[in-house]
Amino acid sequence: MSHVLVGGELVVALSGGVGGAKLALGLSRILPAEELLVVANTGDDFEHLGLTICPDIDTLTYALAGLDNPATGWGRRDETWSFMETIATLGGADWFRLGDRDLALHVERTRRLGAGQSLSQITADVCRRLGVGPRVLPMSDDRVRTRVRSESGWIDFQDYFVRQQCRPVVQQLAFTGAADARPQPEVMAALAGGNVRAVVICPSNPFISIEPILAVPGLRAALDNCGAPVVAVSPIVDGRAVKGPTAKMMQELGLPVSSASVAARYGDLLDGYVVDAGDAGGIRAKLHVTSTLMTTLEDREALAREVLGFADRLR
Amino acid sequence: MSHVLVGGELVVALSGGVGGAKLALGLSRILPAEELLVVANTGDDFEHLGLTICPDIDTLTYALAGLDNPATGWGRRDETWSFMETIATLGGADWFRLGDRDLALHVERTRRLGAGQSLSQITADVCRRLGVGPRVLPMSDDRVRTRVRSESGWIDFQDYFVRQQCRPVVQQLAFTGAADARPQPEVMAALAGGNVRAVVICPSNPFISIEPILAVPGLRAALDNCGAPVVAVSPIVDGRAVKGPTAKMMQELGLPVSSASVAARYGDLLDGYVVDAGDAGGIRAKLHVTSTLMTTLEDREALAREVLGFADRLR
């Protein structure tokens, strides 16, 4: 699948899980499809029940297709659970909840990966079939796996995140395979194309959603050198993470739970930073203060507009 | 899983699909669990969507567990179809209908096979978990695959059977891998144990259900030499097959559609043959004529009693 851009500019968004998918959806609703490219974290992909599962790609895809489950924040809406009920009776692993409809994507993706298709190809085809207009691409077609070290040693990310429900105290994170991973070529071509309007770092967990993307050799430099402003949206609102273990991780890693801590992680990469009122202290990047909480669809669109407007003013 | 028999005798039943599972269920209801061993055909096993699917083992297991779907003759009762609906929207193959509950067994079995467990181990564990008392064992833990030759060449059995709904005219059958397959060791040990009461060849399609079992080197001889009478139940009633392509295949292979044709396939292996009234002509084995149609649960039990009583008289 190739997109030929004639004249139009491109917004490149980096996204992890639910928060990222919310802003990506907002961006998708205010931009023509061909002007948005979303780069998804694959560090929390994992192999489970013999299937390759890509939670962040799927959260993005379902959100952009309008198939996401607003009640859970993961999986699909109108889901059924017969598979999960049954696999428990067979002694299979049931700690990672896979709905019957969601499962179809994992089975079909695993089959196609086994047949030699790349994750990018599969993701593009799934997006096309589900009616997703913007490009969604993995940060790499090579395998990168986030690992978490706690006092009981190194464990896989989903073991930490889902099976142990983020209970272990995080001492260190590693992105296994990242050093040898090749950045997704279409992403690199887009960044080198000279027509990037803005790079948007979505309000995802910096440690487990964005840093795996930045750890792929060449990607951070390509973002830095693409000629467009790099603008992040802080995932911290009122000194707390909107969702997930971001705040708990920051505490465990000895960092203040603040938007400034997140900005410090991104360092010189940032040209601008969008923060919620009350979280604006101690940040070196240019700031745009606005409400960053995305509850409704209108919130998502409004924040997307604010972020792009701010980025345009930074050019 | 091992069964230690103290004194009791053993009925060994060979079974393929639905007809076989019906009689196996009848046998399971009139025998103590430890006195029944059902040997399942694996020739129609296949790999689909990256999963290893074992239709005959599963039909047997579900029937013996009371989980079979009486409306379809395959799959599970109380089934849902979200997976199948969704995989079609993703461009995945939907010609082989996999219910959400049924799918759990295929996913878990495939995972365990990948982890090095044998099909026998997996089947025994699934039976235990689903409350199936009698032993169900595959004819072999090695891969045997039935192939069908028609005028358009050789195709996989499930391609013929399900995808093309038995439309191709069968010219020849082959059991790929059978010549190198090792018979399941527990089956061989049981047959060599000197305490077999009867071998029952269930009313399954001889060409695609029973002959793959007999094609595993050593199995036919072990059945022949186990010291117990071998009694088959004809799958033909009133000159027609009760279910499936048996009659169509017989015509295409140039055989009369009769119980005698089936008996001729089994040849000297048979000591006795149970046929429906009106299908008793031209058969060399000792005959027992009775109603072989199994509609109700009582029919299954009654036929099982008739078959065992007949076998006992042949000893």
Crossing angle of helices B55-65 and B119-129, rounded to 10°: 20
* Domain housing B301: 10-314
Mind listing the pLDDT tens digit for each residue in B67-87? 999 888 889 999 999 999 999
Q: Does some domain include residue A1?
A: no
Residue bearing tokens 């309007």: A197
Cβ neighbours of residue A10 closer than 8 Å, sequence gap 6 or more? A35, A36, A37, A190, A193, A195, A196, A197
Q: How many domains does chain B have?
A: 1
Q: Does some domain include residue A23?
A: yes
Q: Does some domain include residue B2?
A: no
Candidates A53, A78, A89, A106: best to mutate against B (most CBs of B within 10 A) is A89
Predicted local distance difference test score (pLDDT) of residue B7: 53
Rounded distance between C-alpha atoms, residue B44 and residue B22, angstroms:
18
Q: Does some domain include residue A231?
A: yes
Find out whether A144 and A159 touch, Cβ atoms under 8 Å: no
Rounded distance between C-alpha atoms, residue B7 and residue B1, angstroms:
19
Query: Which residues from chain A sit within 8 angstroms of residue B91, using beta carbons?
Result: 108, 125, 129
* Partner-chain residue, chosen from A51, A100, A108, that has the shortest CB–CB distance to B82: A100
Minimum CA–CA partner of B88 in chain A: A104
Predicted local distance difference test score (pLDDT) of residue B6: 47
Predicted local distance difference test score (pLDDT) of residue A7: 54
For the cut 80, the answer to whether the pLDDT of residue B8 exceeds it is no
For the cut 80, the answer to whether the pLDDT of residue B2 exceeds it is no
Candidates A101, A106, A110, A121: best to mutate against B (most CBs of B within 10 A) is A101
CB contact under 8 A, A101 and B110: no
Query: At A206, is the secondary structure helix, strand, or coil?
Result: helix
Query: Which residues from chain A sit within 8 angstroms of residue B82, using beta carbons?
Result: 79-80, 82, 99-101, 104
CB contact under 8 A, A82 and B100: yes
CATH, residue B123? 3.40.50.10680
Q: Does some domain include residue B61?
A: yes
Predicted local distance difference test score (pLDDT) of residue A5: 46
CB contact under 8 A, A86 and B100: yes
Mind listing the pLDDT tens digit for each residue in B119-149? 999 999 999 999 999 999 999 999 999 999 9
Q: Which residues pair with B137 in a beta bridge?
A: B39
DSSP tag of B78: S
Q: What is the ipTM of this complex?
A: 0.90
Q: What does the pLDDT average to over B288-311?
A: 96
Q: Does some domain include residue B5?
A: no
Find out whether A63 and A25 touch, Cβ atoms under 8 Å: yes
Cβ neighbours of residue B52 closer than 8 Å, sequence gap 6 or more? B45, B46, B106, B109, B110, B113
Q: What does the pLDDT average to over B16-26?
A: 95
Q: Does some domain include residue B24?
A: yes
* Partner-chain residue, chosen from B51, B80, B129, that has the shortest CB–CB distance to A82: B80
DSSP tag of A163: I
Residue B78, min C-alpha distance to chain A (Å): 10
Predicted local distance difference test score (pLDDT) of residue B148: 97
- What pLDDT tens digit does each residue of chain A (315 aa) get? 444 444 579 999 999 989 999 999 999 999 999 999 999 999 999 999 999 999 999 999 999 999 999 888 889 999 999 999 999 999 999 999 999 999 999 999 999 999 999 999 999 999 999 999 999 999 999 999 999 999 999 999 999 999 999 999 999 999 999 999 999 999 999 999 999 999 999 999 999 999 999 999 999 999 999 999 999 999 998 888 888 889 999 999 999 999 999 999 999 999 999 999 877 777 888 999 999 999 999 999 999 999 999 999 999
E strand intervals along A33-77: 36-40, 46-48, 51-53
Residues of A with CB under 8 A from a CB of B: 49-51, 79-80, 82-87, 89-92, 99-101, 103-105, 107-108, 110-111, 114, 125-126, 129-130
Q: Which range (B62-71, B72-81, B161-170, B276-285) has the least confidence?
A: B276-285
Q: What does the pLDDT average to over B9-37?
A: 96
Crossing angle of helices A82-89 and B100-114, rounded to 10°: 50
Residue B186, min C-alpha distance to chain A (Å): 23
Residue B79, min C-alpha distance to chain A (Å): 8
CB contact under 8 A, A87 and B104: yes
Rounded distance between C-alpha atoms, residue A196 and residue A184, angstroms:
17
Query: Which residues from chain B sit within 8 angstroms of residue A100, using beta carbons?
Result: 80, 82-83, 86, 100, 103
Rounded distance between C-alpha atoms, residue A101 and residue A69, angstroms:
12
Q: Which range (A85-89, B167-171, B245-249) has the least confidence?
A: B245-249
Burial status of residue A207 (CB atoms within 10 A of its CB: 0-12, 13-18, 19 or more) = buried
Provide the pLDDT confidence category of residue B42 given band limits of 50, 70 and 90.
Answer: very high
Residue A46, min C-alpha distance to chain B (Å): 14
Minimum CA–CA partner of A84 in chain B: B104
* Partner-chain residue, chosen from A90, A99, A130, that has the shortest CB–CB distance to B108: A90
Q: Does some domain include residue A4?
A: no
Predicted local distance difference test score (pLDDT) of residue B139: 98
What does pTM read for this prediction?
0.91
Rounded distance between C-alpha atoms, residue B73 and residue B59, angstroms:
8
Predicted local distance difference test score (pLDDT) of residue A142: 98
Residue A72, min C-alpha distance to chain B (Å): 18
